[in-house]
Structure 1
Amino acid sequence: MGRSGGYGDGPVAIRQRLDPAKRPRCGGCAREWWCRPQTGSSCSGTAGVRALTIAAATGADRGTYRCETLHDWTQAKLSVEPRRVTLRKALVDVDAVEQEAATFLVELSHPDVEGQWIKDGVRVKACGSRRVSVAGRVHGLTLSPLTLDDTGTIAFQSDGIRCSARLTVREPPVTFLKPLQDLRVPETTVVTLECELSRPNAPARWYKNDWELKPGQNVRIYTLGKKRVVQLGRCGLEESGIYTCDVGDSKTSAKLEVYEREIVITKPLEDVEVRENGNAVFVCEVSHEGVKSEWWKNGEKVNSNNCVKIRQEGNKHFLLICGVRDEDAGQIRFTAKDAECTANLHVEELPIKIVKPLRDKTALEKHRVILECTVSKPRAQVRWLRGGQELEAGDKYQISSEDCYRKLVIHGITLQDEDTYTCDAFEDRSSARVLVEEQAILVVRDLQDVEVTAPGEARLECELSVQVMRAPQWSLDGRLLARGPGVRMETAGTVQRLVLTDTSPAMSGLVKFTAGKARSSAQLTVKAE
């Protein structure tokens, strides 16, 4: 016998051929003894060959084995080395759907090898949703039913080998349990488009004719569990189209048809007569509620403002005109699609009144005066009078009207313009007195003393700040002078001049000049010849 070797967990057979000359015979059979028999070993022999078989040899079976007969013996050393387990088929990644099963298989080079399954670093223990199996060299792990949390890394390890694979669990594709349904509705209807999905957390997008819908004043998009809903408020004809709910994996579409309703006037307009500044109300009743309508006055569209109110209550439509004026009279027309009706507004005019009369004015000479009053109607016609005589617009008088205001402007007023002025509205009138004050007159160059020899001519002059309209006064020793033989009074712009001819010594004295509040004086001396 020589040296024998084997791998752990495998059977080992030791054989020895005996020499016939040395084999003792006993009942025709050779007898032998094996030293170091082990549990799990068996002996056998045929035709001079004796064998010792050790099943499932392990490291503990290492040692020297000897076969002895009555006359001889032989021995051999048994070495047991560990098995070299290798990986024949490694794990592969698995992509599965939620609620389904995922199985991982690994094939080794030897059967009866113990191994461990690990998920995300944690050892897997067999349970209802985790089944571990071994079939010869194949080890298996089955996870069922899968959840999204099962996504992770699955590993197998045994006797120095390790392999891993990725498990990816996806949500099942979304399907429509209840698709959209085609609808045909009359206009102004509130429309609800609804579908139902296979799971509640799937995002959805809504489209109309390939244009994505967004929530707005007339569009409401919301979710109720598995239901996806879009609501359109008071649909018009423009809401007709193809509506689609898209959840990525699938989509559903439906056709919405909005048709026009036939509008009939069930109660037409009636003529209205109202006194000026009163309120006029027109009412029209149609066959349906929520109908869009328009109002017209004398061919022009009417819009709501401070004086005009438009409202609708059910199938009744109202037009309210506040503070009716004379120009509001005319035809009122109501239209709702193809239906229309008309009525007339009659306005009883009020007499024209002057609601804010003229006021007396005092003006400075050569300035302008403004007289103004307010009448009750913007279109009221008036005329301006001065002392009973009608005035015409021109350079002197400017006449204007703006809304209910009436104005008279007198330019370059003089003392001669003092008078009573009247605004005549035919049915009413107002008058005011205009007074004119002279301008302040100043003497800028005083009189100078004059000395002449009789009967020579004496000239005295002074200069004022402005021209005077009224004739100034000249006096000599307190006696007023008047134009006449020997006395001339001249005016040259702002210069006032007194010329005395045929003088005599008796004319000597104090000469005074007076123009309003302006005064000047000088001494006149007349010498004898």
Structure 2
Amino acid sequence: MVMNGERVELECEVSEEGANVKWEKDGVELTRDESFKYRFKKDGCKHVLIINEATKEDCGHYKVKTNGDESMAELLVQEKELEVYQSIADLTVKAKDEAVFKCEVSDENVKGTWFKNGVEVKSDARIKITHIGRNHKLTIDEVKPEDEGDYTFVPDGYAFNLSAKLNFLEVKIDFVPRQDPPKIHLDCMGRTADSTIVVVAGNKLRLDVPITGDPAPTVIWTKGEKILTEGDSRVHVDSINGHCVFTIEGAERQDEGIYSVVVRNPAGEDTADINVKVVDVPDPPQAPRILSVGEDSCVVQWDPPSFDGGQPITGYVLERKKTKGYRWMRLNFDPVL
């Protein structure tokens, strides 16, 4: 098995230097007329068939024949896989704010297409689609309720996609008379899965909470029993124009949890809980063990990662190499559990 574009050498050794040797692919003899595709090399009793840059068309069964004997091998050519360095994440956006879906893949030459609810997204005055190097970005300016939906990025030439949801956060602000108790106006409150704010590790966590009250209320943010202030260089707390904003630069695993905001003025107080989930790269599997070894197989068992990255594990990829070898070879194409 080789990757697309790699060099292939099929080598055999016969018992006599002057032996008549012929090569076949899927029962068809390979002749010198095809030297532009195949190269034949002989060194004493050794005979070699060379394919400089293998393609999918080169897959098949190759047979070498000589007087009274033959040998056969199968060649598999695997397409290079596209790795996802950063997937797109769900967004919750208010009216007229900006929504940005972005992802990063391993090949900067790979293009792709964005879809909303299965329909291709086209650039216009509000929607911008960019591709710079390995990064792909979809930006929606001045978000409207009709922008809510499921967004998908599909890399050209690959049978998979990256999906995320845009949630439109409707903010309702009622008339507030003077000496009114403080009020938090936030639809995304509580501790259920539907009210969870998801942020990718390394990105900015920004909790923007609309509040009302007369006189203007004071604001306290807490996580557990700890009051959050700007003592940490990553933390910023602001209260401007009827909003209390809590920001963490570069979200980390330990930032996951329930955040509480309390607003107070002489007329009363109001509180809200916001569930924040940080999605990160999972830890590697733990403690691989060989349970049994057969003639041409073995049974392997391992423990799941101690941290699953914030999402359920969908499967594992197994690779193997010879003890004195340098190259790892993938054993499965579909993830296994």
Give the TM-score band, short-chain normalised: 0.3 to 0.5
Structure with bigger gyration radius? 1
Question: What is the TM-score normalised by the length of structure 2?
Answer: 0.34
Q: Which has the higher strand share?
A: 1
User: Taking structure 1 as the reference length, what is the TM-score of the superposition?
Assistant: 0.24
